[in-house]
Chain A
Amino acid sequence: SFLDSLRSNADLAHVQINQNKYDLDSHGRGEGHHPCAPPSAILVPTSAHDVSQILSMCNKHKVPIIPFGAGTSVEGHVSALNKESISLDMKKFKKVDLPIDGILEDACIEVGAGVTRHELNDHLRHTGMKFMVDPGADASIGGMVACGASGTTAVKYGTMRENILGLECVLPDGTIAKCGTKALKSSAGYDLTSLMTGSEGTLGVITKVTVKLHPIPGHVIAAICEFDSLHEAAEAVATMRMCSIPVERCELLDESSMDAFRRYAASSGDGKFELGAENKPTLFLEFTGSSEAAVREQVTLTESICDDFGGSNFEFKADESERKTLWKARHNLYYASLALRKGATDAVLTDACVPLSKFADIITATVKDVKDFNLVGPCFGHAGDGNFHCILPIVEGDDDDYIAKIHKVNDNLIRRTIDVGGTCTGEHGIGYGKLKYLDSQYGEGGIKFMKELKKGIDPNNIMNPGKVVII
């Protein structure tokens, strides 16, 4: 068998082969609603050379292989649709190339693909620099590249794509390829780094990434403001952009999200925000600058803009622990939302991104669908990017009708999104659940382009087959 060939390869003797049932299960699921689809075995390589050998063997024997980072994907990225798939666990790739004296010369650092973003920032804690991309999960850097991840700071610092300079990856035939450089700009050849970004393990295995770093902001103020409608909040955000306010974070929560947020803040014992009596659409903002005066100016201008659009209870906090509490509650909104339905352990997590001018309409329409179908579905999003999520918790025992309605909400949302020129996924990726939307999003030509690339790089379709691009 294939595993026997692996075992008899002396070069790979140190590579752990794990077939424990529980580990296989945990490697067959992410954090979305897709059913667990366990691989047949888990391999734990320790170097790019290991990965190269493993991939060559998989390619020769035509065995599918799925790279695995932290397992936090939400679109079924790691589901082993072919039962004989191998899971390639990248957890040993933990090297952080920080000089012994802790002084970084350039605002970038090379890390192993298995390093998680919190681990990275912990290594960097005395350097004055930080890796800014902050999706909700403590994902691995390699996984974040493969998924094209982003978080609340994208409005100022961009997504993963804008925060990496280069990477090393291994192609299905075992070739170890260097992509990008340490330079801040380059026009040298095809942009392979961007090609790998969002490729979801379908083109190769990422082993090392050179990430961009940014100075830890010196002065920070967080602010919240309530609005009477999502539209007015969205217009306030659009105006802020027109006034060139370099907002660091700009999140919009609907009434249902505010309900979840309040309950979480109340139960976790921290969180002292003077919000109004009822739940209203609320903007969560963060401003940074090189001096207190610079930040205050941004806050003052924003306050007057919010006021113009009927904003109320504008409140700002400079104290670090209070700010952290605010953002902790926002980051944990996924779990707070699940908690809105007693017994929910799973949810359909929507993700769509539209041009800013259409943002208010799209989120309002989804909130209306949720209400009309009588579902629990908090909606919140990155208002500065036009990207929002609706979390639709599922309880075991929900009838088919409820589940069908949940999927209809998502379907409606994506249809409307593509109609206005948006994308069916702003940051979560395609996995296999969203394959069906790519045709209408890109049309024949775009799909053909992707298929040609996939066929050229992975002709035997061993790299995470059944995801993103079908050949």
Chain B
Amino acid sequence: MKILVGVKRVVDYAVKVRVGADGVNLKNVKMSLNPFCEIAVEEAVKLKENKAANVSEVVALSVGPKQCQETLRTALAMGCDRGIHISTDLRTDYMELQSDAVAKLFQKVIEEKEKDIHLVLVGKQAIDSDCGQVGPALAGYMSWPQCTFASKVDLDGDGLLVERETDSGTETIKVPKLPAVVTCDLRLNTPRYATLPNIMKAKKKKVDTYKAEEFGVDLEVKNKVLEVYEPPSRKEGILVDDVDTLIDKLRNEASVIQ
């Protein structure tokens, strides 16, 4: 089985995001591997370590600026075998490059560069755009089955048995045959820390770079972003000294209790 894992470089989840004139400020801001992509990488590496899965290779794919190579190195340090970097200076946080184009780029990679992919693992969504569309769009373009929000993935004959988390409970979905696309949710696994020896080994693993324009995919935005703004700041609260004062204010000022 050959696995393709999508890894997106996004603003680190712990960073307090600021909005400037051209949208979210990305200058000198700490960037990391998207947490859901990290979970996808972990799942791919776990499958590789599972003899029954018979995984020949795990390839990590990232679309973005040259710093995506660092993101790919993290994925390689966790255990992926090779990396593919599709290079573009378009902003990947929804402002310029959007999900449809990314899904098409993934499709081109699968059809032209890595012809025998059996399983695509991606995060359920990126934490900058929150779209969650690349996985399903790719499945649509490839005419492959898709399982989104996977919280458990097991091998099942020629296919997979996937548990899918929804707001009303967990579904168990049978994918009778591969290839397929699975998007990974929070509870699927706990990503491993890369050890220093693996980080050093990762420096020697192969990363191929292609320009996004090479693939003949329309990279234009489909949805134009009109404005980006921070939510209005909360009106400053006051500190009260005791519960009685609190109740008084809730009753007489905010009028939310009788």
Contacts and interface: CB of A to CB of B under 8 A. Distances in A.
Interface string A265-305: 00000000000000000000000001000000000000000
A238 interface: no
B241 A320 contact: no
B199 A128 contact: yes
Give the 9 A-B CB pairs with smallest separation, nearest first: A128-B196, A215-B196, A20-B239, A218-B195, A128-B199, A216-B195, A216-B193, A126-B74, A21-B241
A218 B197 contact: yes
Contacts of A122: 14
Contacts of A127: 199
Interface string B74-85: 100100000000
Contacts of B28: 100
Contact of A128 (B190, B198, B239, B240): B198
In this complex, the interface size class of chain B, counting residues with CB under 8 Å from chain A, is: 20 to 34
A217 interface: yes
Contacts of B116: none
A128 B194 contact: yes
Contacts of B32: 102, 126
Given A98-B30, A129-B196, 8 more contacts: A19-B239, A20-B239, A101-B67, A126-B32, A126-B193, A126-B194, A128-B196, A321-B190
29 contacts: A18-B239, A19-B241, A20-B239, A20-B240, A20-B241, A100-B28, A101-B67, A101-B70, A102-B32, A102-B70, A122-B14, A126-B77, A126-B193, A126-B194, A127-B199, A128-B193, A128-B195, A128-B196, A128-B198, A128-B199, A215-B195, A216-B193, A216-B194, A216-B195, A216-B196, A218-B196, A218-B197, A218-B198, A290-B197
A129 B197 CA distance: 11
Nearest to A128: B196
A336 B199 CA distance: 38
Contacts of A130: 193
Nearest to B13: A122
B18 to A, nearest CB: 16
B199 to A, nearest CB: 5
A125 interface: yes
Interface string B176-198: 00000000000000101111111
B45 to A, nearest CB: 12
Contacts of A101: 67, 70
A101 B77 CA distance: 15
Nearest to A218: B195
Nearest to A18: B239
Interface string B50-76: 000000000000000001001000100
A63 B190 CA distance: 49
A128 B70 contact: no
A91 to B, nearest CB: 15
A300 to B, nearest CB: 23
Contacts of A321: 190
B183 to A, nearest CB: 22
A243 B33 CA distance: 43
B242 interface: yes
A123 B193 CA distance: 12
A226 to B, nearest CB: 29
Contacts of B14: 122-123
Contact of A125 (B30, B67, B193): B193
Contact of A21 (B77, B192, B199, B242): B242
Interface in A121-151: 122-123, 125-130
A216 B242 CA distance: 47
Contacts of B242: 21
Interface in B231-254: 239-242
A447 B242 CA distance: 44
A217 B197 CA distance: 10
| Of B190, B194, B195, most A-chain CB atoms within 10 Å | B195
A216 B198 CA distance: 11
Interface in B104-152: none
A156 to B, nearest CB: 16
A100 B194 contact: no
Interface in A196-228: 215-218
A13 to B, nearest CB: 15
A100 B240 CA distance: 41
A290 B145 CA distance: 42
A39 to B, nearest CB: 15
B65 to A, nearest CB: 13
Nearest to B33: A126
B192 A320 contact: yes
Nearest to B190: A321
A123 B70 CA distance: 16
Nearest to B240: A20
Interface string A16-51: 001111000000000000000000000000000000
